[in-house]
């Protein structure tokens, strides 16, 4: 009988199979891929019964040749996106070949070529009861000139000298490039792994002091763009989920119409059994396993389908004979809920999800939407009272626990340790302090980097790795982020500039809110200064300047350590490369002169790396005081990292106090109507008290 199968897949450039390979396969031909240099030959296969390329409007006539069409597609789709879409459909065995061809042609015309796609049809039939069609589709429309349309246009985020951003296509930008500049990537210290910012040429030239640490990197100059750019609306519609559903539905309708014309009673349905309201399990498509199954070999797909068929047979018997009473249905539902529940409460939730209302008690009762009366579960049997169900759930949970106790214990132990780490990290300012906190909480650690592990002290438990969120790097980063967030939480806030607050001018309620907020901030500032023991503007200015200086000095110390750490990491990498490639260089020195050139070519990469690493370590030995020892360098890196973390904690504390004092200073200048810090001398002369 007719079956329904409609499998839609998109094929990307990164897929193992190219459009050339797929075309050669479905057309049972021999094709050469100019890009990869590979040749695909399926010409010896004999199951191709029909092949055709159906063209859309505007498509050149030579695209009728599938080799020309897909060679052109292979050339055009040279990015990392999708290159073709395939549709595989099963054909009704009740139709002859001419009728099957007509069926596929009608489907392709109504759904694909009519909206701008070219389609390559290939029908395969090995006379084994599995006739099917492959349909390959192009993914771009063709314009009136016979050229492929764009999938997406790049949209550059441009900026003018006033700092205003505007999104422009390449053609739009060329017309206004004197006014609008593209934003190009700059990397801090010229490091690809470092911070990246986007700047226009004007911004970089006028902000030399601000951006002096940021450099361009050759080969990494892609301008800032809007993600996805301007996408072709037609292609968006082709990729829409509802479009796929419409294609699937139309294939079912076309099969049913064809069967109806031949007065064949069978019908197919594109919907899942669940959507059709049928209590039946779906089978899987056999594909290549069909031949093995036919020849008597069992396959995984076949085994799955046999199990499904057995279950469906039971369901069909139930449906055909209508022998299940409401009590028998309830019994099946209770058994099913017990089998998947780990507690009685979970069992009740499972039964409710099956649309049962429940009355609890010694004789628990259930009522389904199919029945107007409650059924006492005791009437089903002694194993269905509330106490019996609870016991069955408990026994099931106990059996599971007995089966996998070590796994559960390990999982529980990991969760407990992770919770302890989370709790201890909240009060830590450095990674070393976190480890001390854990020691105090009864935990110990070993290892470093990605392999730091933890366990409870004074136990024989094994040390546990807690995953990617609990590596040394992740924990250090968490502490750093924690300190940063704490530094942002200041006691005082900046005043709202009401005079330049445009929205407040047109909104009296907003203006009143801004005034009330400013009054509260002024009071907070006075309280803050009182806590700091500051009573005059001069004292405030001196204290703010002192903290600004300390913060800057601390920041410079951190930068100095970071520079040292970069040098150490680079030298460690050079030493590791030297050690790894040294054996190849030793071999090279021993090779006879006549064979040296060939040996060098065969081992060019290793020898080049060795030479570069050797030069780097020699320079480091001559120009720096760093030891040329991997072990000592790793120890030094650990010590410097700990020192940097400690300095960073101090720096964030200084920065927070500096920020608070600067905000307070700005607030007092506005309260005392001091236009700039230089006018602090007038405040001193007036001896204005801040209290």
> Angle, to 10 degrees, between the axis of helix 326-339 and the axis of helix 344-353?
130
End-to-end CA separation in angstroms for the chain: 94
Residue 120 confidence (pLDDT) above 90? yes
Of residues 328 and 88, more confidently modeled: 88
Residue 689 confidence (pLDDT) above 50? no
Q: What is the pLDDT of residue 414?
A: 74
- The pLDDT-based confidence of 591 (bands split at 50, 70, 90) is confident
Tens of pLDDT, residues 229-269: 887 888 888 888 889 999 999 999 999 899 888 887 778 88
- What is the DSSP secondary-structure string of 12-68? ETTSSS-HHHHHHHHTT-EEE-TTT--EEE-TT---EEEEEEE--TT--GGGGSHHH
Question: Number of C-alpha atoms within 13 angstroms, CB side, residue 592?
Answer: 2
Residue 687 confidence (pLDDT) above 50? no
Residue 351 confidence (pLDDT) above 80? yes
Beta partners for residue 30, in sequence order: 41
Q: What is the pLDDT of residue 352?
A: 86
Residue 211 confidence (pLDDT) above 60? yes
Q: What's the whole-number mean pLDDT along residues 152-156?
A: 87
Q: What is the pLDDT of residue 320?
A: 38
> Which residues are CB-contacts of 526 (< 8 A; sequence separation ≥ 6)?
690, 691
- The pLDDT-based confidence of 659 (bands split at 50, 70, 90) is confident
Residue 372 confidence (pLDDT) above 80? no
Percentage with pLDDT > 90 across the chain: 19
Of residues 373 and 417, more confidently modeled: 417
Q: What's the whole-number mean pLDDT along residues 567-577?
A: 88
* Element of type H or E holding 345: helix 344-353
Q: What is the pLDDT of residue 558?
A: 87
Tens of pLDDT, residues 506-546: 777 777 877 888 888 888 888 888 888 888 888 888 888 88
Q: What's the whole-number mean pLDDT along residues 346-367?
A: 83
Q: Which of 14-23, 372-381, 415-424 has the lowest mean pLDDT?
A: 372-381
Q: What is the pLDDT of residue 319?
A: 45
Q: What is the pLDDT of residue 599?
A: 86
Strands 453-456 and 443-446: antiparallel
Residue 104 confidence (pLDDT) above 90? yes
- The pLDDT-based confidence of 684 (bands split at 50, 70, 90) is very low
Mean pLDDT of the chain: 82
CB 464, CB 413: distance < 8 Å = yes
Q: What's the whole-number mean pLDDT along residues 640-668?
A: 85
Of residues 330 and 99, more confidently modeled: 99
Q: What is the pLDDT of residue 490?
A: 65
Q: Which of 139-148, 300-309, 352-361, 375-384 has the lowest mean pLDDT?
A: 300-309
Q: What's the whole-number mean pLDDT along residues 319-338?
A: 65
Residue 565 confidence (pLDDT) above 50? yes
Q: What's the whole-number mean pLDDT along residues 144-151?
A: 87
Q: Which of 123-127, 274-278, 489-493, 600-604 has the lowest mean pLDDT?
A: 274-278
> Which residues are CB-contacts of 385 (< 8 A; sequence separation ≥ 6)?
362, 363, 364, 377, 378
Q: What is the pLDDT of residue 403?
A: 43
Question: Does the model's pTM come out above 0.75?
Answer: no
Of residues 404 and 588, more confidently modeled: 588
Q: What is the pLDDT of residue 287?
A: 64
- What is the DSSP secondary-structure string of 368-414? ETT-SS-EEGGGT-GGGSHHHHHHHHHHHHHHHHHHSHHHHHHHHHH
Q: What is the pLDDT of residue 65?
A: 93
> Angle, to 10 degrees, between the axis of helix 431-440 and the axis of helix 472-488?
100
- The pLDDT-based confidence of 632 (bands split at 50, 70, 90) is confident
* Alpha carbon distances (Å) from 616 to 594, 619, 624, 627: 30, 5, 11, 13
* Alpha carbon distances (Å) from 534 to 31, 192, 457, 483, 542: 85, 46, 49, 26, 10
Residue 55 confidence (pLDDT) above 90? yes
Question: Which of 22-26, 504-508, 620-624 is the most confident on average?
Answer: 22-26
CA–CA dist 513, 523 (Å, integer)? 16
- The pLDDT-based confidence of 688 (bands split at 50, 70, 90) is very low
Question: Which of 21-30, 460-469, 634-643 is the most confident on average?
Answer: 21-30
Q: What is the pLDDT of residue 117?
A: 94
Tens of pLDDT, residues 401-427: 444 444 444 445 677 788 888 888 888
CA–CA dist 645, 648 (Å, integer)? 5
Residue 398 confidence (pLDDT) above 60? yes
């Amino acid at each position: 009988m007719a079956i329904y199968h409609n499998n839609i897949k998109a094929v990307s450039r990164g897929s193992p199979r190219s459009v050339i390979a797929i075309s050669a396969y479905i057309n049972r031909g021999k094709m050469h891929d100019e890009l990869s240099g590979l040749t695909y030959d399926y010409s010896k296969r004999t199951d191709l019964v029909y092949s055709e390329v159906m063209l859309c409007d505007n498509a050149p006539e030579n695209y009728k040749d599938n080799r020309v069409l897909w060679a052109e597609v292979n050339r055009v789709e040279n990015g990392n996106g999708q290159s073709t879409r395939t549709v595989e459909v099963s054909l009704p065995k009740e139709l002859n070949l001419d009728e099957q061809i007509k069926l596929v042609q009608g489907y392709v015309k109504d759904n694909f070529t009519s909206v701008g796609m070219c389609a390559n049809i290939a029908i395969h039939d090995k006379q084994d009861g599995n006739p099917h069609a492959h349909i390959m589709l192009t993914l771009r429309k063709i314009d009136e000139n016979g050229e492929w349309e764009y999938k997406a246009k790049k949209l550059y985020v441009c900026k003018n000298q006033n700092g205003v951003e505007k999104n422009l296509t390449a053609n739009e930008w060329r017309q206004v490039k004197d006014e609008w500049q593209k934003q190009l990537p700059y990397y801090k210290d010229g490091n690809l792994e470092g911070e990246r910012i986007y700047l226009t040429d004007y911004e970089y030239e006028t902000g030399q002091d601000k951006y002096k640490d940021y450099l361009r990197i050759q080969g990494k100059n892609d301008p800032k763009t809007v993600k996805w750019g301007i996408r072709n609306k037609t292609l968006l519609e082709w990729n829409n989920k509802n479009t796929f559903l419409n294609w699937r539905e139309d294939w079912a309708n076309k099969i049913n119409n064809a069967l109806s014309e031949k007065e064949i009673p069978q019908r197919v349905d594109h919907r899942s059994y669940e959507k059709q309201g049928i209590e039946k399990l779906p089978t899987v498509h056999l594909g290549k396993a069909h031949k093995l199954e036919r020849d008597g070999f069992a396959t995984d797909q076949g085994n799955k389908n046999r199990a499904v068929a057995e279950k469906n047979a039971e369901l069909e018997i139930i449906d055909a004979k209508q022998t299940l009473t409401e009590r028998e249905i309830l019994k099946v539902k209770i058994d099913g809920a017990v089998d998947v529940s780990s507690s009685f409460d979970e069992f009740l939730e499972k039964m409710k999800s099956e649309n049962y209302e429940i009355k609890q008690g010694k004789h628990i009762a259930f009522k389904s939407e199919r029945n107007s009366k409650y059924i006492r579960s005791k009437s089903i049997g002694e194993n269905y009272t509330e106490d019996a169900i609870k016991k069955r759930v408990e026994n099931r949970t106990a059996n599971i626990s007995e089966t996998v106790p070590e796994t559960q214990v390990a999982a529980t132990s990991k969760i407990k340790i992770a919770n302890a780490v989370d709790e201890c990290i909240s009060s830590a300012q450095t990674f070393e302090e976190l480890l001390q906190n854990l020691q105090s909480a009864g935990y110990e650690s070993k290892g470093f980097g990605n392999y730091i592990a933890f366990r409870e002290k004074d136990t024989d438990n094994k040390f546990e790795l807690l995953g990617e969120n609990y590596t040394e790097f992740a924990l250090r980063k968490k502490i750093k982020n924690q300190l940063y967030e704490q530094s942002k939480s200041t006691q005082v806030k900046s005043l709202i500039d009401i005079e330049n607050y445009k929205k407040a001018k047109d909104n009296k309620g907003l203006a009143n809110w801004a005034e009330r907020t400013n009054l509260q901030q002024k009071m907070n500032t006075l309280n803050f200064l009182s806590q700091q023991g500051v009573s005059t503007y001069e004292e405030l200015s001196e204290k703010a300047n002192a903290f600004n200086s300390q913060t800057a000095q601390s920041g410079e110390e951190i930068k100095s350590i970071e520079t040292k750490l970069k040098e150490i990491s680079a030298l460690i990498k050079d030493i590791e490369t030297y050690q790894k490639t040294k054996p190849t260089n030793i071999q090279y020195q021993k090779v006879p002169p006549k064979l040296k050139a060939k040996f060098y070519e065969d081992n060019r990469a290793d020898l080049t790396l060795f030479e570069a690493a050797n030069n780097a370590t020699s320079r480091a030995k001559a120009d720096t005081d760093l030891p040329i020892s991997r072990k000592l360098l790793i120890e030094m890196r650990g010590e410097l990292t700990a020192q940097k973390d400690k300095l960073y904690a101090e720096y964030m504390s200084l920065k927070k106090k500096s920020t608070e004092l600067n905000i307070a200073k700005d607030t007092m200048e506005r309260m005392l109507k001091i236009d700039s810090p230089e006018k602090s001398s007038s405040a001193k002369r007036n001896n204005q008290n801040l209290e």
